[in-house]
């Protein structure tokens, strides 16, 4: 969408619906996920930057939504993608009930470094996940950049016994990731970069600095399928496709990205529909046997009515969409 003409705002608003999806467990400090979904010539698409994000950041998410709704998707190389389960920062006792929501997933991403918790909480949670998954399951952790280098090194040492597949965004800054990668090299635990890619002015810097072993890529924050594929190609690192707690429509965008990658070495973080108790379609895009089909959901009016946001939230989101559309128009000249 970087050079293509924008669809008129009226065309976007014509089908736009604001939805609010309840979560089965608190995740990322929210209990309800809000989004705008609308239909373009290529099908339904989604605009769902988190509410705390500025318009300047949210504009990129709208570019992705318009790209997916109005432009043909890249050629798919596969019709299904393997996905991981996602474990919120819950108590260890809640791990089995969360994992039961994921059918056949053999990889789990565990949230760690939650505000208000301590490292012992993380150790207990990861231990419970490893016990549930057995020795053959894969366990990865995600700190969302919450640790400094010393804290991250200590945490990785404490969690290394659980045979980690990789550590996602342990520190916030690229130079911190580079330092940590050097410190823990002997442990042979890869570092994955997420925020250092999707929230960076220069998403390729982490690759140039040798600060990560792989990239976590998300279609919406990176501006769409075509932009994300270009970043992966230029970075020259393995990629894990993930979501931003999207509805099933947003997850279909991620699945299209994963389907288009030349190589897909890692299970994708696209199983998060299992965290919702309701979704935008009657049959949510959830993993079956550990894989997600590459398909495009088509919600009905009744589906969308069932999860419609209240009037105040609807107005808030549509105003945001209008502002971001105007900002995109300025960038396109």
Q: Which residues are known catalytic residues? A: 111, 218
**Distance between terminal CA atoms of the chain?**
13
Q: Which two tokens stand for residue 2?
A: 């970087």
Q: Which residues of 168-200 are buried (b: 16+ CB within 10 A; e: fewer)?
A: bbbbbebebbbbbbeebeeeebbbbbbbbbbee
Are the beta carbons of 214 and 266 closer than 8 angstroms? yes
Short-list 280, 255, 259, 248, CA closest to 269: 255
Query: How far, in Å, CA of 193 to CA of 200, rounded?
Result: 11
DSSP E strands: which ranges in 101-205? 107-111, 138-142, 164-168, 191-193
CA distance 280 to 244: 16
Pairing type for strands 80-82 and 43-47 reads: unpaired
Q: Please report which helix (H) or strand (E) contains residue 195, including its range.
A: helix 195-198
Spatial contact of 46 and 35, defined as CB atoms under 8 Å apart:
yes
CA–CA gap between residue 300 and residue 22 (Å, rounded) = 19
Residue 106 region by backbone torsions, left for phi larger than 0, else alpha for psi between -120 and 50, else beta: alpha
Q: How far apart are CA 318 and CA 314, in angstroms?
A: 6
């Amino acid at each position: 969408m970087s050079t293509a003409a924008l669809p008129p705002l009226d065309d976007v608003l014509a089908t736009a619906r604001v939805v609010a999806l309840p979560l089965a467990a608190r995740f990322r400090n929210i209990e309800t996920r809000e989004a705008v979904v609308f239909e373009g010539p290529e099908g339904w698409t989604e605009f769902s930057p988190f509410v705390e994000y500025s318009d300047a950041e949210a504009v990129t998410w709208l570019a992705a939504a318009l790209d997916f709704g109005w432009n043909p998707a890249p050629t798919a190389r596969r019709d299904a993608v393997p996905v991981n389960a996602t474990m919120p920062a819950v108590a260890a006792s809640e791990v089995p009930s969360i994992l039961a929501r994921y059918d056949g997933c053999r990889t789990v991403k565990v949230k760690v470094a939650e505000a208000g918790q301590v490292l012992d909480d993380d150790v207990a949670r990861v231990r419970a996940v490893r016990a549930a998954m057995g020795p053959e399951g894969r366990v990865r952790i995600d700190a969302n950049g919450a640790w400094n280098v010393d804290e991250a090194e200590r945490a990785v040492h404490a969690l290394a016994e659980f045979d980690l597949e990789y550590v996602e965004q342990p520190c916030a800054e690229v130079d911190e990731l580079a330092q940590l990668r050097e410190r823990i090299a002997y442990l042979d635990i890869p570092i994955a970069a997420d925020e250092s890619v999707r929230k960076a002015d220069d998403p390729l810097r982490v690759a140039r600095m040798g600060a990560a072993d792989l990239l976590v890529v998300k279609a919406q924050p990176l501006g769409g399928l075509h932009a994300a594929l270009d970043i992966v190609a230029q970075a020259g690192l393995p990629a894990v496709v993930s979501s931003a707690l999207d509805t099933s429509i947003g997850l279909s965008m991620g699945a299209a990205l994963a389907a288009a990658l030349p190589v897909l070495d890692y299970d994708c973080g696209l199983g998060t529909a299992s965290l919702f108790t309701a979704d935008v379609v009657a049959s949510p895009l959830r993993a079956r046997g550990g894989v997600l089909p590459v398909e495009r959901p088509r919600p009905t009016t009744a589906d969308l009515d069932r999860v419609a946001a209240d009037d105040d939230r609807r107005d808030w989101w549509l105003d945001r969409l209008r502002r971001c559309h105007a900002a995109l128009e300025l960038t396109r000249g």
